Amino acid sequence: MEFSAKQIAALLGGKIEGDENRSVSEISKIETAGNRSLCFIANPKYEEYLYTTDAAIVLVNEQLQLTAPVKATLIRVPDAYAAFASLMQYYSEMAKSELPKGIEQPCFIADSAKIGNDVYIGAFSYISAGAVLADGCRIYPNSFVGRNVQLGTKVTLYSGVKVYDECMIGARSIIHSGAVIGGDGFGFAPQADGSYQKIPQLGNVVIEEDVEIGANCTIDRATMGSTLIRKGVKLDNLIQVAHNVEIDECTVIAAQAGIAGSTKIGKRCMIGGQAGIIGHLTIADHTHINAQSGVSKSVNDPHTVLNGTPAFDYKSVLKSQAIFRHLPEIQQKLARLEQELRNLKSDNTATAEGQ
Amino acid sequence: MEFSAKQIAALLGGKIEGDENRSVSEISKIETAGNRSLCFIANPKYEEYLYTTDAAIVLVNEQLQLTAPVKATLIRVPDAYAAFASLMQYYSEMAKSELPKGIEQPCFIADSAKIGNDVYIGAFSYISAGAVLADGCRIYPNSFVGRNVQLGTKVTLYSGVKVYDECMIGARSIIHSGAVIGGDGFGFAPQADGSYQKIPQLGNVVIEEDVEIGANCTIDRATMGSTLIRKGVKLDNLIQVAHNVEIDECTVIAAQAGIAGSTKIGKRCMIGGQAGIIGHLTIADHTHINAQSGVSKSVNDPHTVLNGTPAFDYKSVLKSQAIFRHLPEIQQKLARLEQELRNLKSDNTATAEGQ
Amino acid sequence: MEFSAKQIAALLGGKIEGDENRSVSEISKIETAGNRSLCFIANPKYEEYLYTTDAAIVLVNEQLQLTAPVKATLIRVPDAYAAFASLMQYYSEMAKSELPKGIEQPCFIADSAKIGNDVYIGAFSYISAGAVLADGCRIYPNSFVGRNVQLGTKVTLYSGVKVYDECMIGARSIIHSGAVIGGDGFGFAPQADGSYQKIPQLGNVVIEEDVEIGANCTIDRATMGSTLIRKGVKLDNLIQVAHNVEIDECTVIAAQAGIAGSTKIGKRCMIGGQAGIIGHLTIADHTHINAQSGVSKSVNDPHTVLNGTPAFDYKSVLKSQAIFRHLPEIQQKLARLEQELRNLKSDNTATAEGQ
């Protein structure tokens, strides 16, 4: 597909600077763009590339001041990043016309499963008894949908997703390859002989609308009731969500973070990669937790920013971490002070004796 | 299914307080119970809910003292938690009557594989040459069982489990979706040109009886000999067990922990989430390792409790962590002391000179 | 298969000490070797086993000095570890004659896919439209190869690997079970109402030749352009590689490490288990990053060794960590000094007043 600067400017409501007939066939980063590329500059630190790039068309912020001549055709828009995102979305929507369709064979669909209209089911996928797939669901090959699972409209399960029995996934949610939804929570009762008896995990997982779950995440079913992922939550890859956890609306969590059992995370939180949160806590709305932090206490105040293990107030952690690097000097200084004090005392004694 | 207080009390040997004819159709948490719910209270901090809950029946400890009127029918038992676990187990066993059975088509079973009685093999599962599945195994759809793999009686592989060639899994063990058993250990010999030559991983993984392995865990095969998971071990999700590791009986490990090559973990240890243990260590029986700890030395004494990175004695770590928060004040105090000492010295000099 | 000491010595160019007709049928660790075993000793700390082992044949370093009689036949070579690795490689190559071959049914191969010679495609694997599999590829059962994916000669995808559309994997690379190549990068534009809009991830993943990717790793596709894994890179299990990351030649990364978006890792780096590297950094060649470290700044100097969170110079971290353990004593010492200084000042005052 090919687009001219004129077409793109029309689509975005932007203002052209340069040749309006130049055209592009690919989207690139400005550092590596070729002469058929469309790029954007939102971050000022990439501005230098504007004067050397081979790109055909560059989206820039309305108010950008040029400091040298530019070869590319510019399209000025109020927010270059947002405009670029819209454009990519548009491009991506067009690509969807090529999405796979229909029921491929062989697949396994139990007699009692209910399959909506315009559903794609890839070969080697398995739809269990009582499962309900609403209109427009796309189930890529080698996926497993357990008994009585309910998938809302336009849910996407990429290849190899496993959804255990009784779980529910809301409309438009996207689950990436290898994610496991509804495995047993980790619950065992210690026995007198030191062994463990499995506690049956009788609940389920409920994922609401517009959620995205990354590749190879594991979201365990509740012991009773539901592990709950509210609408708009975005999880990166390899995240562990234990039984009975609740994650409220529009919280985003980076890769390899883990949340232990029964913890409740508020709305619009941001949790960094490899962070860990122990069980049975409550984390207030808008909490930010830094990468690799270990949270061991509930957070009561919204907009708290945490860091470190055990995690506490972000700025305080930074101060302590900065001093941590200087512990050897602190130790030396302390030893020197001790010595000086000792000297002073013996001087004083000498002075006193001398008097 | 529906059960009356009378039936449940009979099953558990408990004592009824209230209407013995009230009945329940679901198991719930006391905080969210409806009027068809059965609940339990073991932890005193949930006792307050007893006086407000809509639950029909609540299991409580024999000696519980009521401090207000209760609407629910109570069943008193010696240990409410254990009674509840038994009840859930019972419920779960009943549910097993609905488990899938038989050999679904299409599946792939090599001619030389041996399949016991009452085995379930789901569609799109692959049983390689020489594999042996004992009676009562349940292999959910899209699983892979490699060459000469041996599965004991009643082993469960949930959907999408991959077991590489030559591995062995003991009776009643449960492997959750996406777990990979027997992938190559991470062994490479550095070459003169800076590249790496793969060291063939010729061993296997041996998992004994009554083990549970969580979703998306990875347990690598030994370079030679066996990576060994002893009976009764319980692993949560996303855990990494490297080649030639040995984990002894009834040790439990929380999600996202990782154990590097050739380390031996003792019996009945408890290892927290996201903890890491480096290679070639020996960890004594009953060791507790806190979440996110990094263990870099062997543990010789049983019942040691470790924390932090690098991990050391739990209580000492807590003390150091508490002071870590106050490093800025310590630094200030030290600066003040230095200044005071300097003042004192100049005073002394002045005094000395003044004399 | 059985080999005599004479055959092995001939293969390795080694020198026999003892009975050249002794033969072996298995490869073992020296600690657990039986009388049909071949072992090696490279690490001096295992030398003690040489005098007690039942092994039939032991490979040792040329210059090893015996301190007691040995039952086993010894084969002396310049580098026992390298010789052993070659031997295992040889053994492994022989085993490859038993590798699965051909196209198993049922599998799904789109009409427009191009399949080379000597390719193995296991049952229930799915090869999408436009995919190209060069000669000698081996695709184990239940794998998914997306649209227009290109696999070089002799690529191995173990059971359950998922490769999203448009990704490329170079010759001889090995991808272990459950790895997900090319899932969407984690990119969302925050909206005014607090929700997030998905940013389409239009790039791909390019994996070059001789790469190994461990089980259940996740390597995300670029937003634009390519996430790039250069030749000879080795990744252990459960590693997260975010969108637009580049990992240069022959870097090795241990299990559960994570690399955030757009970070560039140099050549021949070594990154420890559970380490994390934040986004948009550049890490110089030959950097060593210790297990569980958290890297938050670019590394400019090659051969830097980092440790801790936030990571800094390895030796400095060790010093600070050592003092961290003694923080309680430091705090006490500081309090004592304060008291002594106070005493001294009041003494001085007393002295001064006394004058």
pLDDT at residue number A126: 98
**C224 and A104 in contact by Cβ < 8 A?**
no
**A124 and B104 in contact by Cβ < 8 A?**
no
Q: At A84, is the secondary structure helix, strand, or coil?
A: helix
Identify all chain B residues contacting C268, using CB atoms and an 8 Å cutoff. 194
| B347 neighbors B340 (Cβ within 8 angstroms) | no
Contacts of C184 (CB under 8 A, 6+ apart): A174, A176, A212, C198, C201, C220, C221, C243
Nearest residue to B175 (alpha-carbon basis) of B152, B202, B201:
B152
What is the average pLDDT score of chain C? 93
Share of chain A above pLDDT 70, in %: 97
Look at the domain C3-98 and name its fold.
3.40.1390
Tens of pLDDT, residues A14-69: 999 999 999 887 778 888 888 888 999 988 888 999 999 999 999 999 999 999 99
pLDDT at residue number A351: 67
| Distance of alpha carbon A242 from alpha carbon A259, whole angstroms | 6
Cα B142 off chain centre by: 24
What tokens were used for C138?
Answer: 């081996």
Q: How far is CA C92 from CA B209, B261, C45, C175, C209, in A?
A: 30, 21, 27, 18, 20
What tokens were used for A320?
Answer: 């302590």
Is B286 considered catalytic here? no
Identify all chain C residues contacting A345, using CB atoms and an 8 Å cutoff. 340, 344
Tens of pLDDT, residues A217-253: 999 999 888 999 999 999 999 999 999 999 999 999 9
Tens of pLDDT, residues C331-349: 999 999 988 888 888 877 7
| C202 neighbors C188 (Cβ within 8 angstroms) | no
pTM value is 0.90
Identify all chain B residues contacting C331, using CB atoms and an 8 Å cutoff. 323, 326, 330
Q: Which residue has the higher pLDDT, C74 or B99?
A: C74
Q: How far is CA A135 from CA A9, A129, A208, B231, in A?
A: 35, 18, 16, 46
Chains that touch C (3 or more CB pairs under 8 A): A, B
Q: How far is CA A173 from CA A30, A121, A131, A151, A248, in A?
A: 32, 16, 17, 9, 15
Residue to mutate among A104, A105, A107, A108, with most B CBs inside 10 A, is A108
**C237 and B278 in contact by Cβ < 8 A?**
no
**C178 and B319 in contact by Cβ < 8 A?**
no
For residue C184, count other CB atoms closer than 10 A to its CB.
Answer: 23
| Distance of alpha carbon B350 from alpha carbon B344, whole angstroms | 10
| Distance of alpha carbon C305 from alpha carbon C290, whole angstroms | 8
Identify all chain A residues contacting B337, using CB atoms and an 8 Å cutoff. 337
Residue A91 has pLDDT above 80, yes or no: no
Q: Which CATH superfamily is domain B108-315 in?
A: Hexapeptide repeat proteins (2.160.10.10)
Comparing A81-90, B296-305, C8-17, C122-131, the range with the smallest average pLDDT is A81-90
Cα B108 off chain centre by: 32
**C236 and B186 in contact by Cβ < 8 A?**
yes
| pLDDT band at residue B323 using 50, 70 and 90 as cut-offs | very high
What tokens were used for C293?
Answer: 């470290």
Q: At B157, is the secondary structure helix, strand, or coil?
A: strand
Identify all chain B residues contacting C249, using CB atoms and an 8 Å cutoff. 194
Count CA atoms within 13 Å of residue A345 on its CB side. Answer: 13
| pLDDT band at residue A277 using 50, 70 and 90 as cut-offs | very high
Q: Omega of the bond prior to A106 within 30 degrees of 0, cis?
A: yes
Q: Nearest Cβ partner of B330 from C254, C331, C344?
A: C331
Instruction: Tell me the torsion sign for CA atoms B325, B328, B331, B335.
Output: negative
Contacts of C334 (CB under 8 A, 6+ apart): A334, B330, B333, B334, B337
Chains that touch A (3 or more CB pairs under 8 A): B, C
| Distance of alpha carbon A283 from alpha carbon A271, whole angstroms | 11
Question: Which of A243, A280, A286, A288 does the annotation list as catalytic?
Answer: A243
Long-range CB contacts for residues A339-344, cutoff 8 Å, separation at least 24 = A340/B341, A340/B345, A341/B341, A341/C337, A341/C340, A341/C341, A341/C344, A344/B341, A344/B344, A344/B345, A344/B348, A344/C344
Same topology between domain C3-98 and domain C108-315: no
Q: At C350, is the secondary structure helix, strand, or coil?
A: helix
What is the average pLDDT score of chain A? 93
Contacts of C98 (CB under 8 A, 6+ apart): none
Domain boundaries, chain B: 3-98, 108-315, 325-354
Long-range CB contacts for residues C232-236, cutoff 8 Å, separation at least 24 = C232/B195, C232/B196, C232/C208, C233/C208, C234/B186, C234/B188, C234/B196, C235/C211, C236/B186, C236/B240, C236/B242, C236/C273
Q: Omega of the bond prior to A310 within 30 degrees of 0, cis?
A: yes
Q: Nearest Cβ partner of B91 from A143, A146, A202?
A: A202
Residue A352 has pLDDT above 70, yes or no: no
